[in-house]
Amino acid sequence: MEKQFGRMMQMAFVVDNFEEPIEFWTKKMNIGPFFKLEHLNVKDVYYMDKPTNLDFSVAIAYTGSMQIELVNQHCDTPSIYNEYVNNEKGPLHHLCTLTDNIENDIRILESQGYTNLQGGKTQDNGKFAYLDTKEREGPILEIAQLSEAGLGFFDVMREASKNWDKKTAIMDLGEVRL
Amino acid sequence: MGKKFGPIMQMAFIVDSFEDSIEFWTRKMNVGPFVMLEGVELKDVYYKDSPADIDFSGAIAYTGSMQVELIKQYCDTPSIYNEYVNNEKGPLHHLAALTDDIENDIHILESQGYTNLQGGKTQDNGKFAYLHTKDKKDPIFELAQLSKSGLDFFDMMKDAAKNWDRKSAIIEAEVIL
C-alpha cells in the first residue's frame, strides 16, 4: 500500500514566547487570528523510544489552507522542540500532513530511511508522530491521524482566518461564529 | 490603505542538487511533480541596492495550494540565496505571497521594519522583491506582483499536482503549457 497522507497542511516554528511571534505574524505577515492551546493535554508521549512528559503550548493560525503553528515548550525535558534541533528558534521546525492510516505511513516512511522520533495521542485517541531522516534532508515530518472533533476544530480555525478583522491577534474558540 | 498581499503561497528552500532534493520531496514527502525553471531569465535584478546578475534555476511543485520551491544558484555572485543566509542549505529560505500592488505593500512593510533586499522583474514585467526584518528568526518574505500569464502558469502547476501519477518526479514546463 502507498503512503496515505495528504498535502502539507501545517508549517511549524519553535518560539521562546507567544507575544512577539504573534505580533510578528499578525501585524507584519497579515496572518491571524491565532488560537492558543495552552499546556496541551496529550498522552502516551514518547521521544527517542522512551515515554516522556512534555509541558508545551501551541498557537495556530491559518493562511489560506495552511496552518502556521507556533510551539513553546515550557519545560527542559529533551524533545524534538529543543535538543533535537539544537534549541534553534525561528527556522521552520516541521511540516505536518494528515492521514487516515498512520501505522501504514510510518511503516513506509521507516522503509525510506525515516526514524519515528516522537509522538503520542490526544485525549480522544487522535495519533501523531514526528519523523526525520538521518541526513536531515528536509524539514521534520509530522503525521497526524485525528478524530473527527480534531478535524472540526481545524475547520473552525480556518474559517476564522477568512473572516478575520486583522485586529484581534488572539481568539478563543468560543468567539468564532460559523 | 492596508497591505494587499494574500495568503502565503510558497515556501522555498536552497538546495545543492535538484536531483537529491526532488527525490526527497517526491519519494518521501509525496510532493510533486516538480516543474523545472532552468536559468531563470529576469531583468532589473538588484541585491542590497546594487544591480546584480544572478544565474540560478528553480524547481516548483504544489502541495495543495502551497508551492514548494527549490532554488539552486550556479554562480558566486552575492545574493540572498548564498551569502545572506550564510550559505545555509536545507532550512526554510523564504515565504512568498502574491499582491496586486507591490509598491504599496513594500512601502508599508518598510515602515514596519523590513528592508527591501533583493528583487527584479520577469520578462513580462511581473515584479518581485525579497524583504527581511533585522531579526533573523523571521523568515525572509517575498512579494510578487505577477502578470496574468505568470499567474496562469502557477495554476497549471497546481493542476499538475492534483493529477500527479506519483511517478514522474519532474515534468517539463512545455508539457503543462
Mean pLDDT (whole number) for A159-173: 84
Q: With respect to residue B1, please indicate whether it lies within any of the assigned structural domains.
A: no
pLDDT of residue B96: 93
Q: Nearest-CA neighbor of A157 among A174, A132, A145, A140?
A: A174
All cell numbers assigned to A103: 501505522
Instruction: Tell me whether residues B133 and A95 touch, CB distance under 8 A.
Output: no
Q: From the CA of B22, how many Å to the nearest CA of chain A?
A: 11
The CATH T-level fold of domain A8-164 is 2,3-Dihydroxybiphenyl 1,2-Dioxygenase; domain 1 (3.10.180)
pLDDT of residue A81: 92
- Work out whether strand A114-121 and strand A43-47 pair parallel, antiparallel, or are unpaired: antiparallel
pLDDT attached to residue A15: 92
Percent of chain A beyond pLDDT 70?
A: 98
Number of domains in chain B: 1
Chain-chain contact of A137 with B28 (C-beta, under 8 angstroms):
yes
Confirm or reject contact between A23 and chain B (CB < 8 A). no
Is 0.95 exceeded by the ipTM? no
A46 has pLDDT over 90 = yes
**Which residue in A11, A136, A138 is closest to B29 by CB distance?**
A138
The rounded Cα B41 to chain-centroid distance in angstroms is 14
Does residue B89 register a pLDDT over 80? no
pLDDT tens per residue, range B99-111 = 999 999 999 999 9
**Averaged pLDDT for residues B4-32:** 90
Residue B131 reports pLDDT greater than 70: yes
**Percentage of chain A with pLDDT > 90?**
54
SS (H, E, C) B136-151: CCCCEEEEEECCHHHH
The answer to whether the Cα torsion of B13, B74, B141, B137 is positive or negative is positive
Specify whether the CB–CB gap between A131 and A117 falls below 8 A: yes
Q: Mean pLDDT across the stretch A64-81?
A: 94
Distance CA B33, CA B50 (A): 35
Residue in A with minimal Cα distance to B70: A138
Q: Can you give the length of chain A in residues? A: 178
Q: Reduced to 3 states, what is the DSSP secondary structure of residue B56?
A: strand
Q: In the prediction, which pLDDT does A178 show?
A: 52
Q: Where are the domains of chain A?
A: 8-164
Q: How far is B65 from chain A (nearest CA, A)?
A: 7
Higher pLDDT, B136 or B120: B120
Contacts of A31 in chain B (CB under 8 A): 7-8
Average pLDDT over residues A31-50: 90
Instruction: Give the percent of chain B with pLDDT over 90.
Output: 50
* Domain coverage including residue B15: 8-176
Is the pLDDT assigned to residue B177 strictly greater than 60? no
More confident residue, B98 or A168: B98
Band (pLDDT 50/70/90 cuts) for residue B176 is low
Question: B72-108 b/e with 16+ CB inside 10 Å = b?
Answer: bbeeebebbbbebbeeeebbbbbbbbbbeebebbbeb
Residues of chain A contacting B31 with CB distance shorter than 8 Å: 7-8
> Omega into A33 within 30° of 0, i.e. cis?
yes
- Which is more confidently placed, A125 or A136? A125
Reported as a pLDDT band with limits 50, 70 and 90, residue B79 is very high
Q: Over 60: is that where the pLDDT of A5 sits?
A: yes
The mean pLDDT of chain A is 89
Q: Which residues of B touch A27 (CB under 8 A)?
A: 112
Cβ contacts of A138 within 8 Å, gap of 6 or more:
B13, B21, B24, B25, B28, B29, B90
Residue A18 confidence (pLDDT) above 90 = yes
Q: Write down the pLDDT at residue A151.
A: 92
Distance CA A146, CA A150 (A): 6
Give the residue on B whose Cα is nearest the Cα of A5.
B30
Residue B2 within any structural domain of the chain: no
Report angle CA B86, A8, B140 to the nearest 5 degrees.
30
